[in-house]
Amino acid sequence: MSQKRLYELVYIVSPDATEQTITDLHTQVESIVTRLQGEMVRTENWGRRRLAYRIGKHREGTYVLEVFHGTGELTKELDRRLKVTDDVIRHLLIRVDEELKVAERSRAKRQAEAEKRIARGLPPLGQGRRRTSDDGGDDDRGDEPEVER
């Protein structure tokens, strides 16, 4: 059994498409996800937006975001389906769990460090350290004549 992972899918629907096709596409995606033992997390419709450059002959498009848990097979199937769908002019399907995990880890680490600082009775400031490193450079300049004296 392959593992469940968190994925984010953004697709751009052609501006010629009606509201109906957009909802149809969404239900299609949802059905594929649930059929292949996936699980929808959330959906967002960003509405019509201007594209930064032309895709085909289009200058704008409707953005839809879908977040779901699923397997590798599921993404393969989704990718294939989106590629052959003419109303979808562009799509991006990426795995995000790993990156979010990394972000969460560094956040936890920073919090732990801040707590340690407070426990030690130091002011809870991360910037102090940075300033000292810069002062260190200045100090060096001041130190030099002292050595020679």
Partner 1 sequence: MSDERRSGPGGGPKGRGGARGAAKGGPRRTMFRRRKVCKFCADKIDYIDYKDMKMLQPFIPERAKILPRRISGVCAMHQRKLQMAIKRARLLAMLPFVTD
Q: Is 65 in the site for partner 1 (CB under 8 A)?
A: yes
From candidates 23, 100, 122, 124, binder to partner 1 by CB under 8 A = 100
Nearby residues of 70 by Cβ (< 8 Å), 6 or more positions away: 4, 5, 7, 33, 36, 37, 38, 39
- Are the CB atoms for 2 and 71 separated by under 8 Å? yes
CA distances for 71 relative to 3, 33, 93, angstroms: 6, 9, 13
Of residues 2 and 132, the one with the C-beta less far from partner 1: 132
Q: What residues pair up with 95 in beta bridges, in sequence order?
A: 7
Stretch that binds partner 1, among 20-28, 78-86, 106-114, 117-125 (CB under 8 A): 106-114
CB of 117 to partner 1, least distance (A): 14
Provide the minimum distance between the beta carbon of 47 and partner 1 in the complex, in angstroms, as a whole number.
13
Q: Which residue has the tokens 């509201």?
A: 19
User: CB-based contacts of 10: which residues, under 8 Å, 6+ apart?
Assistant: 63, 64, 65, 66, 91, 92
Does residue 125 interact with partner 1 by CB under 8 A?
no
Question: Is 12 or 29 the residue whose CB approaches partner 1 more closely?
Answer: 12
The correct pick among 16, 73, 104, 115 for binding partner 1 (CB under 8 A) is 104
Residue 30 neighbours by CB under 8 Å, 6+ apart: 40, 66
Q: Contact positions toward partner 1, by CB under 8 A?
A: 10, 12, 49, 51-53, 55, 61, 63, 65, 90, 92, 94, 99-100, 102-104, 106-107, 110, 127, 130, 133-134, 136-137, 140-141, 144
